[in-house]
Structure 1
């Protein structure tokens, strides 16, 4: 990367946030040596060893070295509980601390975006090339097992590595067999537009190491003389000019760097890629957002955009725990120092075994009820159990079958609490705030019970520890979902795109901020509706598409 003590502080493009979207954007925009590009990251380098060891997410989440350590406001839908809300704070952003699961969602997600924006560029068939452009899928390696259909849907030779997991568990294989008996078909590929089925997740790893976007898109281009990366640098606000009654223009950013305030200018565009929490926060701090909120904090209004910070959507996972007999699970394997030593030795020698694990191994997509025409549930099944994230494993063999509603109708918000950019905003997801979401929660727990009751799983004599078989009614199960549900870390939608006549749309279909020139938002916050699956790779697709638009416009 170019040296970071540039004295002119003038660039063509400034990208705020070196996370999932920002790293790809910096790569693409700086590919032309005529473009001077600055990438700014509040966190430090991704040199912490636990970032790169897959199981290290346990030590990166809620760790101030790598995570913003945010929390939600007490949530009525969770019976007053507040949750940790991980957001990556390091090069690679959330791709440095997330579950490494490669999932695109369903074709209907993107077709829906096209309808909501009036722009066919967002249709599935027009997004697929953007997914494939940066993909490097293991089945297309020399000697891989790809068929012709697979080649039509996946790319090879791109920066974003996709591999199969380097371990299997018999108890999960049997859970998959039980899922088939319960009516869920087997699949070889969740990423062809219809993800119904059961199989192991594919992961963003390379040879047993986490593959984050810093490694994928910044490593190898660090010598570009036109690319400057400032880490450990917090953006305090946008520099917006409103002279002579003309349309406001964003011409740069103010940052705190090495204890000093620095103003950096952009001759072409500023691109916010700070994520579904950071991007609306920066907009609001800069006078772009709901006028009443800005007035409350005595922030001059640059653009009254009531949708900034609204429309927050997330996947709430409901964790059903089953005690099992006669099964090898991580609870038992890691229950002694000898077991831990064996796990460490296997990873050291082979880069396989439990230390190579993503947080979830087995996946299933299905319907919570027959009335749904498409899968509306996603399972993350794990050969382990614990009371809550960060707590010790249970001292008995168990699995966890976490299930989430893919298309929640609940909507939350993100709002600043003060003018201080270092104060975290108020995050209010409003989980389970609609009757439909509460019904899906109750029905999803019944689907889980139906799978666990199949003969293929009976040999383990499964005992439902959470939520407990004594809870049967819709009201009981919905209430229990509020007690045991946790975020699966997929916040989106807080700077959503939409039609020009949509008063709550913040950006247009090409991700330009309404009413402000020279400013774009490119991250998961622009999704009008959440994708039907994990959100990291869809965010890369968004960045790939946006990079083409930005370069094509200049």
Structure 2
């Protein structure tokens, strides 16, 4: 069946927010004609989407067919001449179809900091619960159990997760049973996952909101492999969307096709896509539009500004040979692939029903650690974190293997530690160069352009996770290529594998195997019962860490903030009801609306933005979304 030329509501962008929004609207009224436009392919029943354990493939740029990659337009002096790369999902379900499946939620103060009516944590809690099919025991009233998106511990938890929790406790990070209660900011837990424990499948947004509605109703229309180019206006009233076909094999000179909207257009093309659509439509800073040759319809200088992300670095450690890791799977061992695939197909369990990230922490520094970070960082701490005890400064997690290229490292078992800076003070931007939807934008990630605020926490977190690793029973040294380049004589120099473990890995020829042994340095005898003292770092060691951060810091795929919901005079783009200033019948419902950062893996927040936008629209249309978690109100939320 073809796509109608006129519908009631067009949702432009099929990521988590767009799927939640379109599905909720279509279900609210079977007579409401809703069109969802997505630039990528349909994800329905795609084993590369629904099988949780295959997601590392999405990190491989050359192999990925479900992501678009944005590159910094210019080398960054803040990254020592490096360009950053920010992947953006281009598949139905967006990031929920290809992400790491790590379930976290923002702190209550994150939403309160928006300072917009209807957007406090208390206001949003019923929607948070409406989203969730929480498949873990709960000891608080912040989770929901009958929503469309499942959360569980997955189909396998590696033994190293408990090893990690014990070692985290040894360095002052206690264990809790629910780190996602909106308040706890310093603890470790078994990390939950966006995986349905009953089916063993990934809990992506399209499978939760779009496919079930389309199977039961005829009023939700889906247009994939089509990129929204611009909004069509009559005056300043949005009346439709122009799109182009981006299916592989089609030329980039395809002409636009227009579909009309009787009631509303909502942009949900993400933090990187939505501002480009607005600017191509004549909505943005006049200086930007003039340079791009686009006539200004509404002068909104905030469009495309205040780009934010979360920053990650990861360090890799050697694990004992007896440790069950996913390294053989990651290195492509045929027998392991056959065994794990068969286990998953027959039982929906095992490593392929997991993401290999079974434990993690949120963390705030002690007073002593704050002093060690230096006085320059203190002002940021005092102004932003000090009086908000629910805000963690850093996240961290353990990965049960090495996600890098195994052909470049010695054989063996590994575990990795990821550190995430949740509230960077650095900011970037994205703007179009022309009205051509195929031309690359001018993108500045802004990574580390406020180094005095953003580097000290990452440096501190690196030291912290290193101390956790050194206290784990599985620890057998460090992969030196994945650590800072300390002076060899420094006590901070990375400890590589001891000769006993080298023999374990390589056999009796380990001592004479110069090829492999040449990659190992500063051997360290493993002593599992030794009480380890914290490494003492010098000023030169700190500089080595800082340079390593600049050389290796990466995106977490958590982009937000380029169409901020705040007063227009403060470079705001949206009001509290998500209307684009200066227009009618046009809203934005994705993570670009965030006026400040959110300390979380952002899938949960993207769903929340889409659901909140649905509530606003059904209220305006006089419809109803059923929600058992909602307080009594003039209309019922779902």
1:159 and 2:154 correspond = no
Shift of the alpha carbon at 1:392? 6.9
- Who is 2:601 aligned against? 534
Aligned residues of 2:167 and 2:469 also touching (Cα < 8 A)? yes
- Who is 2:527 aligned against? none
Aligned residues of 1:50 and 1:60 also touching (Cα < 8 A)? no
- The change in CA–CA distance for 1:131 and 1:393 in structure 2 (over 3 A counts) is farther
- Who is 2:212 aligned against? 220
CA distance in 2, matches of 1:344, 1:472: 48
- Who is 1:142 aligned against? none
Shift of the alpha carbon at 1:413? 0.8
Identify the match of residue 517 of structure 1 among 578, 584, 587: 584
Deviations 1:106-129 (A, max 9, x none): 11101111x2x3x2x111111111
Aligned residues of 1:376 and 1:405 also touching (Cα < 8 A)? yes
Aligned residues of 1:377 and 1:403 also touching (Cα < 8 A)? yes
1:481 and 2:557 correspond = no
SS in 2 for 1:68: strand
Shift of the alpha carbon at 1:26? 1.0
Superposed counterparts of 1:396-475, under 5 Å = 396-434=412-450, 435-454=452-471, 457=472, 460-463=475-478, 465=480, 466-468=482-484, 469-470=492-493, 473=539, 474-475=542-543
CA distance in 2, matches of 1:407, 1:545: 23
- Who is 1:380 aligned against? 397
- Who is 1:101 aligned against? 102
Shift of the alpha carbon at 1:333? 6.2
- The change in CA–CA distance for 1:58 and 1:423 in structure 2 (over 3 A counts) is farther
Aligned residues of 1:386 and 1:392 also touching (Cα < 8 A)? no
Shift of the alpha carbon at 1:239? 0.8
Deviations 1:135-182 (A, max 9, x none): 11113xxxxx444x2xx1111111111111222222232121110111
Shift of the alpha carbon at 1:75? 3.3
Shift of the alpha carbon at 1:408? 0.5
Shift of the alpha carbon at 1:484? 1.9
CA distance in 1, matches of 2:548, 2:261: 51
CA distance in 2, matches of 1:391, 1:88: 27
Aligned residues of 2:188 and 2:359 also touching (Cα < 8 A)? yes
- Who is 2:285 aligned against? 290
Shift of the alpha carbon at 1:369? 4.9
- The change in CA–CA distance for 1:320 and 1:72 in structure 2 (over 3 A counts) is same
Aligned residues of 2:157 and 2:354 also touching (Cα < 8 A)? no
- Who is 2:382 aligned against? none
- The change in CA–CA distance for 1:197 and 1:309 in structure 2 (over 3 A counts) is same
Aligned residues of 2:35 and 2:221 also touching (Cα < 8 A)? yes
CA distance in 1, matches of 2:160, 2:26: 48
CA distance in 2, matches of 1:203, 1:463: 27
- Who is 1:112 aligned against? 113
CA distance in 1, matches of 2:64, 2:341: 25
Shift of the alpha carbon at 1:64? 5.4
Superposed counterparts of 1:28-47, under 5 Å = 28-31=24-27, 32-47=29-44
Shift of the alpha carbon at 1:421? 0.4
1:330 and 2:326 correspond = yes
Aligned residues of 1:413 and 1:428 also touching (Cα < 8 A)? yes
- The change in CA–CA distance for 1:394 and 1:355 in structure 2 (over 3 A counts) is farther
Q: Which has the larger radius of gyration?
A: 2
Aligned residues of 2:294 and 2:434 also touching (Cα < 8 A)? no
- Who is 1:19 aligned against? 15
- Who is 1:91 aligned against? 92
- Who is 2:573 aligned against? 506
SS in 2 for 1:349: helix
Aligned residues of 2:317 and 2:475 also touching (Cα < 8 A)? no
Task: Name which of structure 1's ranges 279-288 and 250-259 shifts more when overlaid on structure 2.
Answer: 250-259
Aligned residues of 1:51 and 1:60 also touching (Cα < 8 A)? no
CA distance in 2, matches of 1:79, 1:322: 26
CA distance in 2, matches of 1:218, 1:520: 20
- The change in CA–CA distance for 1:293 and 1:146 in structure 2 (over 3 A counts) is closer
- Who is 2:171 aligned against? 182
SS in 2 for 1:385: coil
Q: TM-score w.r.t. structure 2 length? A: 0.79
Shift of the alpha carbon at 1:511? 1.0
User: Which residues of structure 2 form unaligned runs of 5+?
Assistant: 248-253, 371-384, 485-491, 494-536, 622-638
- Who is 1:229 aligned against? 222
- Who is 1:50 aligned against? 48
Deviations 1:51-105 (A, max 9, x none): 1111222334535531123333333333232344222222211111111222111
1:197 and 2:193 correspond = no
Shift of the alpha carbon at 1:186? 0.8
Shift of the alpha carbon at 1:464? 5.5
Aligned residues of 1:270 and 1:520 also touching (Cα < 8 A)? yes
CA distance in 2, matches of 1:387, 1:332: 12
1:75 and 2:76 correspond = yes
CA distance in 2, matches of 1:71, 1:54: 27
Deviations 1:376-428 (A, max 9, x none): 1001210112446x977762222111101111100011111332102232332
Over aligned residues, Cα RMSD in angstroms?
2.2
Q: TM-score w.r.t. structure 1 length? A: 0.90
Aligned residues of 1:385 and 1:394 also touching (Cα < 8 A)? no
CA distance in 2, matches of 1:334, 1:225: 42
Aligned residues of 2:158 and 2:356 also touching (Cα < 8 A)? no
User: Which residues of structure 1 form unaligned runs of 5+?
Assistant: 140-144, 243-247
- Who is 1:10 aligned against? 6
Aligned residues of 2:293 and 2:434 also touching (Cα < 8 A)? no
- The change in CA–CA distance for 1:500 and 1:294 in structure 2 (over 3 A counts) is closer
SS in 2 for 1:462: strand
The count of residues paired between Structure 1 and Structure 2 equals 529
CA distance in 1, matches of 2:15, 2:126: 22
CA distance in 1, matches of 2:50, 2:154: 15
